[in-house]
Structure 1
Amino acid sequence: MNNIRSTLATVWRIASPFFKSEDKWAGRVLLGAVVAIELSSVLMDVLINQWRNRFYTALQNKDWDTFKREMLVFCAIAAVSVALGVYQLYLNQWLQIRWRKWMTSKYLRDWVHDANHYRMQLANDAADNPDQRITDDVKLFVAQTLALGLGLLNAVVSLASFVIILWGLSELLPLTLFGIDLSIPGYLVWAALVYAIFGTMLTQWIGSPLVGLDFNQQRLEADFRFNLVRVRENSEQIALLKGEGAERGRLLDRFGRVVANWYGIMSRTKRITAFTQSYAQASVVFPFALAGPAYFVSKTVQLGSLIQIAEAFGKVQDSLSFFVSAYRTLAEWRATVARLDGFENAIAAAEKLADDPAAIHEKPAAGGEIALPQLLVKLPNGTPLVAAEHFSFRPGERTLVTGPSGAGKSTLFRAVAGIWPFGSGAVEIPANASLMMLPQRPYLPIGSLHDAVVYPGEATQFEAGRVRDVLTAVGLPQLAARLEEEAHWNRMLSLGEQQRLGIARALLHAPQFLFLDEATASLDEPSEAALYRLITEKLPDTTVVSIGHRSTLGAFHERNVTLVRDGDRFSLRDTVKVAAS
């Protein structure tokens, strides 16, 4: 019971914001229309149930006039039912796409903002494969929540409507057992209730493991798909290393987990299907077994009433057995809800990590420099990594940062960029200052070359002529004529060409602070020197901070600092101070 309450509370937390959002009136009107049509469908079922009594009684009595009239009545009811079914499907789909669009926008906004997606990875959160959460899980959540909600509404209203009918029909004929007439008020209703309770209890007992199996299946499928994408994206390196056998083995291993879990689902589904199908088949003849003696023996009821009793009993039994018939969908739905709940919790945890006053935080600097007054950068597990005290990157100065591998140079850059929260202290940055970080492998979005070069800016911010001039300046004249060409540029270009594009991006955006994390390491020394001279010429007022290992880089920087071992951490110090110590 606690699990049910917890699931419903989670569903309300996930679903209700849509009906309070800027799109709330459209959502509420569509939901109201869908609910109204669902209620109208129940009314049609009641009318059809009453019609069957009159129609089959007319057949039994060979009443031609009543037969003709009831045929016309049926045509009218059927026409209305068809119209209701068509518009219910149409409006339901309309509501689904608006709801899904809103949820997708919300999750993208919460996930991809202020490096929250990056912090979620650092925190090793449980929300694996966010792509699957935002695509498959959101789609399933919207569709299944509507289907189950409307199904439950239909079951409740049908139960209320047909219980009255079935109770009244119970009064028309006595219960006959072993030739003895018994008078039990509403016995058909009580029989349906007992039948449904029995079925529900057995269904829960047989099918409860399906929730966990469905949850794992979605996770394993997403993991397998993610690794397939990884092989595609790294096909060149895999081919060069002749790693196809290793990758195939890893993929088959992950797919083996998918198959093993699927066998578990198959086994449990076989059992639950065997029971629910048997249960449904038995429910067809059960009301006839109860009411049959009154028709054949005592002859106190006509064929029309017998048919109406059977259908009304079926409706009541179906309503009471909603849990039985929808169990498979409910199991999938609960797994989907759990995955979205985990995703929302991971987003919230990453945001909380960024807002933690004890973590590394950003504050406005008093002057024009980036200051690290007392910064301690840690690993996610809390191990100290880099310390910086009373250190600053001064305006217009060009600084080279060196140190042994693993000392935390790139992590220090991430802390300055505001995406690494683990640690303590503050990074003081001038108000409205523009920073750009260029990593060793720059990100180039799929699309036109123009869009890739000017990223994260808009293409309209930079004229094509200016972009072509910059490409020529960084040594890529062959690409200057391909600005409108669309491609996956991280695959099309060598790493050296990608790094040249990164420098071109910096020249276009002209940031106040430019951080180069081995951003030219894949180029030969003369090409690297040419690009640094170009940066000096085109960005004379930009503060440049570089990470590099080549001794030739020293000529292009006025200041050299290094990370040196200081107990359980590395400390950032000027090389002059190192030499003096």
Structure 2
Amino acid sequence: MKNISATLAIVWRIAAPYFRSEDKWAGRGLLAVIIVIELAMVGGSVLINQWRARFYNALQDRDWNGFSRELVVFCVIAAGLVLLQIYRLYLNQWLQIRWRRWLTTHYLGGWLQDANHYRMQLRGDAADNPDQRVSDDVKMFVEQTLSIGTGLLNSLVTIFSFLFILWNLSEAAPLHAFGHDLTIPGYLLWAALIYAIFGTALTHWIGKPLVNLNFAQQRLEADFRFNLVRVRENGEQIALLKGEPSERERLLVRFGRVMGNWYELMTRTKRLTAFTGSYSQASVVIPVILCAPAYFAGKIQLGAVTQTLEAFGNVQDSLSFFVSTYRSLAEWRSIVARLDGFEGSIANARTLADDPASIQVEPAADGEIALPHLLVKLPNGAPLVAAEHFSFRAGESTLVIGPSGSGKSTLFRAIAGIWPFGSGAVEVPANARLMMLPQRPYLPIGSLHDAVVYPGEAAQFDAGRVRDVLAAVGLPQLAARLNEDAHWNRMLSLGEQQRLGLARALLHAPDYLFLDEATASLDEPSEARLYRLLAEKLPQATIVSIGHRSTLDAFHTRKVALVKDGEIHVLGKGGEPAQAEPSAAR
């Protein structure tokens, strides 16, 4: 009971915001109409139940007029029920897509807000495979919440609607045994209730493990799919290393876990299906067995038997709602748990960024990026990089050097505001535009124009200007392909991708440009030409580079090192001015 109440509390927390959102009136209106239709459907079932008694009595009495009249009544009721079924499905689907749209927007907003997705990865908590959470889990949550909710409502209303019918039928068709009438008020109702309680208890006992098994199945399926995508995305490196046998073996191991859990699901589902199938079949004959003695004794007519059969079935089905939907409920609870974990991960990552004890990005008092007292740590708390009273002065180009693994890239991430682990502050001038170019730039799938101007909108930069910067960075052959859609990270060499990254910088003209080995895949003459191009086209930009080549010294006015001091590396310790070329100096 405690688990059920906890699940319902989570469902309410996930679902309620939609019905308080900007789309609340449409959502509430659709839900209200769906509820009214469910009530009307139950009303139609009651009318059909009453009609069935009259119809079969007319058959038994060979009453042609009554038979003909009841056929007309049936056509009217049936037409109404068909119409209700059509609009119940249509409006339910309409509400589903609106609710799903809101939830998808809501989760994407939390996940992709201010590098929250990156911090969630760093934490390595319960947000495995967020793509599945936002696509599959949201879709299934909306579908199953509405299905289970309306099904439960239908069952409750059906119980109360047929309760009196079944009670009255118990009086009209008394329990007859061994030639005597036994007086047990509402015996048909009590029989249905006892049968449903028995079935529910056994179903829960047999099917309880399905909740954890469904949760594990979704996680294992997502893990297998994610690794398939990784193989596809890294096909070139795998092919060059002849790594296909290794990847195949790794994928088969992960699929083996999928299969193992699936076999456990099969076994448990087989047991549950065996019981629920037997339970459902037995429920067909139990009311007939109870009424048959009274019928053969001439106490009731055939219409009463058929009405009793249907009424007992409706009440028993409603009371057995838990039995009939147990598998769906188990799957639904696992989905709720996954979305709850996703929400918790989003909130934890946001809390981490807002924690005053973590690295904070604050406005600078003057026009330079300052690191007054900064300590950058690893996610496990180990110190990595320290900086004391250091600044990147406007108009000055700085080369940051240090051994591999000393924390140069992590320092850039802290300056960008996406690395919260540590203490102190990064002071950035108000309204300053920062751009970080990593060694492997991100190029979204789509047109080349969109890839170059990312993260800006295509309309911000006309095609002529984009062609000009492509030619300037040494990619004139791509100028004619701006409207071509492709996966550019796979289509282009790493050197070409780095040139596109620099073209992006020329278009956006940032105030501070951080280059994290952003030209490492280019030959030295090409690298030199591009640094001169940056100095010419972005004279206002402050350039900060990470690199290992000594030839980079000529394009920076200052060189600073990350020097090991005990367990950490200190920025600027032993720093020295660089000898910049006249054309590159500012």
TM-score (norm 1): 0.98
Structure 1 residue 221 and structure 2 residue 242: aligned? no
Alignment of 1:30-41 (within 5 A): 30-41=30-41
Assess, with a 3 A threshold, how the Cα gap between structure 1 residues 80 and 576 changes in structure 2: closer, same or farther: closer
**1:520 corresponding residue in structure 2:** 519
SS class of match (1:412)? helix
Asked whether the equivalents of residues 398 and 560 of structure 2 are also in contact (C-alpha less than 8 Å), the reply is yes
**2:104 corresponding residue in structure 1:** 104
Alignment of 1:40-51 (within 5 A): 40-51=40-51
SS class of match (1:382)? coil
SS class of match (1:376)? strand
SS class of match (1:38)? helix
State the AA in 1 paired with 2:571. L
Alignment of 1:179-218 (within 5 A): 179-218=179-218
Structure 1 residue 355 and structure 2 residue 354: aligned? yes
Asked whether the equivalents of residues 377 and 383 of structure 2 are also in contact (C-alpha less than 8 Å), the reply is yes
Structure 1 residue 5 and structure 2 residue 5: aligned? yes
**2:62 corresponding residue in structure 1:** 62
CA displacement at 1:575 relative to structure 2: 3.6
State the AA in 2 paired with 1:381. N
**2:568 corresponding residue in structure 1:** 569
**2:387 corresponding residue in structure 1:** 388
**1:292 corresponding residue in structure 2:** 292
**1:25 corresponding residue in structure 2:** 25
CA displacement at 1:177 relative to structure 2: 3.4
Asked whether the equivalents of residues 559 and 576 of structure 2 are also in contact (C-alpha less than 8 Å), the reply is no
SS class of match (1:300)? coil
SS class of match (1:519)? coil
**2:581 corresponding residue in structure 1:** none
CA distance in 1, matches of 2:422, 2:55: 80
**1:502 corresponding residue in structure 2:** 501
**2:254 corresponding residue in structure 1:** 254
State the AA in 1 paired with 2:220. L
**2:74 corresponding residue in structure 1:** 74
Structure 1 residue 465 and structure 2 residue 456: aligned? no
**1:487 corresponding residue in structure 2:** 486
SS class of match (2:228)? helix
CA distance in 2, matches of 1:183, 1:448: 81
**1:416 corresponding residue in structure 2:** 415
Asked whether the equivalents of residues 158 and 318 of structure 2 are also in contact (C-alpha less than 8 Å), the reply is yes
SS class of match (2:471)? helix
Structure 1 stretch 245-254 or stretch 181-190: which is displaced more? 181-190
TM-score (norm 2): 0.98
Provide, for residues 15-73 of structure 1, a one-character-per-residue CA deviation record: whole Å limited to 9, x for no partner: 11111100001111111111111110000000000000000000011011100000000
**1:398 corresponding residue in structure 2:** 397
Asked whether the equivalents of residues 514 and 543 of structure 1 are also in contact (C-alpha less than 8 Å), the reply is yes
CA displacement at 1:182 relative to structure 2: 1.5
SS class of match (2:361)? strand
CA distance in 1, matches of 2:194, 2:380: 56
Provide, for residues 299-352 of structure 1, a one-character-per-residue CA deviation record: whole Å limited to 9, x for no partner: 111100111011101111011100000001001100110001000000000000
State the AA in 1 paired with 2:312. F
State the AA in 1 paired with 2:513. L
**2:343 corresponding residue in structure 1:** 344
Structure 2, unaligned runs of 5 or more: 579-586
SS class of match (1:431)? coil
**1:277 corresponding residue in structure 2:** 277
Structure 1 residue 53 and structure 2 residue 64: aligned? no
**1:441 corresponding residue in structure 2:** 440
Provide, for residues 113-158 of structure 1, a one-character-per-residue CA deviation record: whole Å limited to 9, x for no partner: 1000000000001111000011110110000000000000000000
**1:234 corresponding residue in structure 2:** 234
Structure 1, unaligned runs of 5 or more: none
Provide, for residues 376-429 of structure 1, a one-character-per-residue CA deviation record: whole Å limited to 9, x for no partner: 000000000000000000001000000011000000000000000000000000
CA distance in 2, matches of 1:552, 1:537: 19
CA displacement at 1:574 relative to structure 2: 4.9
CA displacement at 1:576 relative to structure 2: 4.2
CA distance in 1, matches of 2:111, 2:526: 39
State the AA in 2 paired with 1:565. K
Aligned length: 578
CA displacement at 1:174 relative to structure 2: 2.1
**2:528 corresponding residue in structure 1:** 529
Provide, for residues 260-314 of structure 1, a one-character-per-residue CA deviation record: whole Å limited to 9, x for no partner: 11101100000000000000000000001111111012x1111001110111011
CA displacement at 1:578 relative to structure 2: 11
**1:328 corresponding residue in structure 2:** 327
CA displacement at 1:577 relative to structure 2: 6.8
Provide, for residues 177-209 of structure 1, a one-character-per-residue CA deviation record: whole Å limited to 9, x for no partner: 344422111111111110000000000000000
SS class of match (1:65)? helix
Asked whether the equivalents of residues 49 and 311 of structure 1 are also in contact (C-alpha less than 8 Å), the reply is yes
Structure 1 residue 140 and structure 2 residue 152: aligned? no
CA distance in 2, matches of 1:86, 1:64: 33
CA displacement at 1:229 relative to structure 2: 0.7
CA displacement at 1:231 relative to structure 2: 0.6
Asked whether the equivalents of residues 373 and 388 of structure 2 are also in contact (C-alpha less than 8 Å), the reply is yes
Asked whether the equivalents of residues 559 and 577 of structure 2 are also in contact (C-alpha less than 8 Å), the reply is no
Alignment of 1:116-195 (within 5 A): 116-195=116-195
SS class of match (2:572)? strand
Asked whether the equivalents of residues 276 and 325 of structure 1 are also in contact (C-alpha less than 8 Å), the reply is yes
CA distance in 2, matches of 1:232, 1:394: 43
CA distance in 1, matches of 2:464, 2:56: 83
Provide, for residues 148-180 of structure 1, a one-character-per-residue CA deviation record: whole Å limited to 9, x for no partner: 000000000000000110001111132223444
Asked whether the equivalents of residues 560 and 575 of structure 1 are also in contact (C-alpha less than 8 Å), the reply is no
Measured on the aligned residues, the alpha-carbon RMSD in Å equals: 1.1
**1:546 corresponding residue in structure 2:** 545
Asked whether the equivalents of residues 563 and 573 of structure 2 are also in contact (C-alpha less than 8 Å), the reply is no
Provide, for residues 520-541 of structure 1, a one-character-per-residue CA deviation record: whole Å limited to 9, x for no partner: 0000111101100111111111
CA distance in 2, matches of 1:224, 1:373: 46
Asked whether the equivalents of residues 359 and 422 of structure 2 are also in contact (C-alpha less than 8 Å), the reply is yes
Asked whether the equivalents of residues 511 and 541 of structure 2 are also in contact (C-alpha less than 8 Å), the reply is yes
CA distance in 2, matches of 1:550, 1:348: 42
SS class of match (1:36)? helix
CA displacement at 1:464 relative to structure 2: 1.1
Structure 1 stretch 484-493 or stretch 433-442: which is displaced more? 484-493
CA distance in 1, matches of 2:231, 2:202: 45
Asked whether the equivalents of residues 359 and 420 of structure 2 are also in contact (C-alpha less than 8 Å), the reply is yes
CA distance in 1, matches of 2:55, 2:184: 28
CA distance in 2, matches of 1:416, 1:435: 9
State the AA in 1 paired with 2:226. F
CA distance in 1, matches of 2:461, 2:76: 65
CA distance in 2, matches of 1:312, 1:326: 20
SS class of match (1:171)? helix
State the AA in 1 paired with 2:244. E
Assess, with a 3 A threshold, how the Cα gap between structure 1 residues 121 and 545 changes in structure 2: closer, same or farther: same
State the AA in 2 paired with 1:380. P
Asked whether the equivalents of residues 557 and 577 of structure 2 are also in contact (C-alpha less than 8 Å), the reply is no
SS class of match (2:389)? strand
State the AA in 2 paired with 1:349. N
CA distance in 2, matches of 1:574, 1:525: 28
Asked whether the equivalents of residues 560 and 574 of structure 1 are also in contact (C-alpha less than 8 Å), the reply is no
CA distance in 2, matches of 1:321, 1:89: 23
SS class of match (1:329)? helix
State the AA in 2 paired with 1:318. D
